[in-house]
Amino acid sequence: MQSTNAAGISAFVTDTSIVGIKKGTLRCYSDLTIGCQKSLEDVTTTDLIIIPSIEFIDEPFLIKYPELKDWLIQHHKRDAVIASICACAFLIAETGLLDGKISTTHWAFSDAMQEQFPAVDVHSDKIITEQDNIICAGEATSWQDLVVYLVEKYSSIDTAKHIEQFFLLNSHREEQRPYKLLKSTVAHEDQIIREAQEWIESNLVAENLLNKVTQGSGLPERTFKRRFKLATKQTPNEYIQNERIDTAKKLLLTELSTVQEIAEQVGLMDGSYFRRLFKRKTGMTAHDFRKSFASSNDEKRILRKQ
């Protein structure tokens, strides 16, 4: 049913319920409780199912709740839209509903999701994905993006903009890349490669960095590159680039240095190359990154210097 509110914005009246495996009180993470108004059995038809963020656990979830898996599959067959937030994309993937479809999740979990569900097309850079009535929102705070997206989908763009402005929601993000930690954090047991990683992090400004770290490993070049990629899932050159950009991101938010000076602090004397690399890795220019993420007072001081 469509209605008009006091601000003259058209909206849809919805019948919304919190649903659990069983009706009643649900104890959540951090010992919080939520009242579930309906059980799965109570819901025989619905237009939209939103699954909130859950704690990431690197093991199957629905094996404990087969009735939830069946419930989701049946409602999807009846054309219900299913939306997930953050790690709940894993839950939907377990149902098989994401096979052959695009999805997203928190960037830190994307590699694990792709490994566990190779049939799913994981786009770790995306904030929102949608295909065949399955919507995925990236990280936990992307519920804001999801809310605005759903209001626009079911109501209108004007209503979505009004809600965004009224509740001060931040839903203009298109990618997770600016937030993403680029360098590999894969745990491994190769001591030589671990030492090489530590040396890279401490010597970003060294000339011929790749050659020096290779020589310092004591391994033949081909062996070093092979073992580095096997241990970190990144080539040595990729790792060096990612470490430089990760460090530059921190400096952009904490230092008053210009972009050129920061480029030099991370070992890239060619400022134009640094700018291109930064844009390719983060999806933003260094200037826009600083403007978007620096605190307001720091931003004013930093931008004045530039």
What does the buried/exposed string (b/e) look like for 270-306 if buried means 16 or more CB atoms within 10 Å of the residue's CB?
Answer: ebeebbebbeebbbbebbebbeeebeeebeeebeeee
Q: Is the pLDDT of residue 160 over 90?
A: no
Residue 128 identity? I
How many residues are recorded in the chain?
306
Q: Has residue 1 got a pLDDT over 70?
A: no
Does residue 183 fall inside a structural domain? no
Q: How many domains does the chain have?
A: 2
> Across all residues in the chain, what is the average pLDDT?
86
Q: At residue 306, does pLDDT exceed 70?
A: no
* Domain assignment of residue 181, yes or no: no
CATH of the domain at 96: 3.40.50.880
CA distance 123 to 176: 10
Cβ neighbors of 4 (< 8 A, separation 6 or more) are 10, 11
72 is a domain residue: yes
Residue 65 lies in a domain: yes
Find how far residue 106's CA is from the centre of its chain. Answer: 3
- Within 10 angstroms of residue 178's Cβ, the number of other Cβ atoms is 17
**Residue 6: per-residue pLDDT:** 45
Q: Where are the beta strands (DSSP E) in the chain?
A: 2-4, 10-12, 19-20, 24-27, 33-36, 38-39, 48-51, 81-85, 102-103, 121-122, 128-131, 134-137
209 and 138 in a common domain: no
DSSP letter at 120 equals S
pLDDT tens-digit series, residues 249-276: 999 988 889 999 999 999 999 999 999 9
At 216-250, the pLDDT tens digits run 999 999 999 999 999 999 999 999 999 999 999 99
Q: Identify the domain containing residue 119 by its residue range.
A: 2-176
Residues 29 and 171 in one domain: yes
Residue at a domain's end among 150, 176, 202: 176
271: which residues sit within 8 A by CB, 6+ positions away?
A: 259, 260, 263, 264
Q: Look at 1-15, 22-36, 201-215 and tell me which has the smallest mean pLDDT.
A: 1-15
The answer to whether residues 266 and 205 touch, using CB atoms and an 8 Å cutoff, is yes
pLDDT, residue 297, reads 45
Q: Is the pLDDT of residue 300 over 50?
A: no
- Rg of the chain's alpha carbons, rounded to an integer? 23
